[in-house]
Amino acid sequence: MTAPLTPPHQPPPHDPDRPAPLPGLPASDGAPGTATELRQSAVVVAASVVAGVLLGLLWLWLAPRVGLYSDGKAVFLKNSEGEAAIGSDGTFVLIALGFGALAALLVFLFHRHGGVALVLGLALGGVLGSLLGWGVGIWLGPERDVVAHAKALGPDVTFDAPLELDMGAAAMLAWPIAAMIVHLALTALFGPRDPEPEDGPWPPTPKTTAP
């Protein structure tokens, strides 16, 4: 008489290769719950908004200036062939792209199991941060009432034109697009992988043939 074999649908009672579960901990794949993801996403949005202030300050500092002057009757460009106006847009976009890539890297490092909520947080935070950065740069930048400023300075005095974004929509999307692309790339290259399928039941179920 032989000992009964383990039923095919159950694992062997003592498998030396199977790690024992930790006591008191539920089975989980390490992914956070929905409530946790929403809290993490809110933190990402808040941090992005705060970073938007730094974006505005950097834009104000690095953006090329457009020189203006007045003859007492009208305001003219100091250099009519200059490309400083285009450089202002390009400077904002480049800084925003860098902020988006950095935000995606930090989110991936701190929340490797991030889901859809974190990606949406990156996108929303990027838009809000860009809007705030644009507002800070304009608010702290040169005087926006060009005519009144020219009259106050007098004729033949060069002064800086206010900061402008001619490609405003594209500039506002640079940060969120960069953040989502970089986060997607990092997740695809270094993100957690699905667990390998376990071996079949042991002993294997004998095949049956039709009579």
Per-residue confidence in pLDDT tens, the chain, 211 aa: 454 554 555 545 555 555 444 443 343 445 567 888 888 889 999 999 999 999 999 999 998 888 777 776 777 677 755 566 678 899 999 999 999 999 999 999 988 776 788 889 999 999 999 999 999 999 998 888 777 877 777 777 777 888 888 888 889 999 999 999 999 999 888 876 656 555 555 555 655 555 5
Q: With beta carbons less than 8 A apart as the criterion, state whether 175 and 129 touch.
A: yes
Print burial letters for 15-45: b (CB count within 10 Å at least 16), e (below 16): eeeeeeeeeeeeeeeeebeeeebeebbebbb
- At residue 75, the 3 state secondary structure works out as strand
Tokens 């034109």 appear where? 161
CB-based contacts of 132: which residues, under 8 Å, 6+ apart? 49, 52, 53, 55, 56
Q: With beta carbons less than 8 A apart as the criterion, state whether 11 and 201 touch.
A: yes
Cα–Cα distances in angstroms (integers) from residue 40 to residues 43, 119, 187, in the given order: 5, 11, 17
* Residues counted in the chain: 211
Quote the pLDDT of residue 152: 79
Both tokens of 50, joined, read 């705060």
Print burial letters for 194-209: b (CB count within 10 Å at least 16), e (below 16): eeeeeeeeeeeeeeee
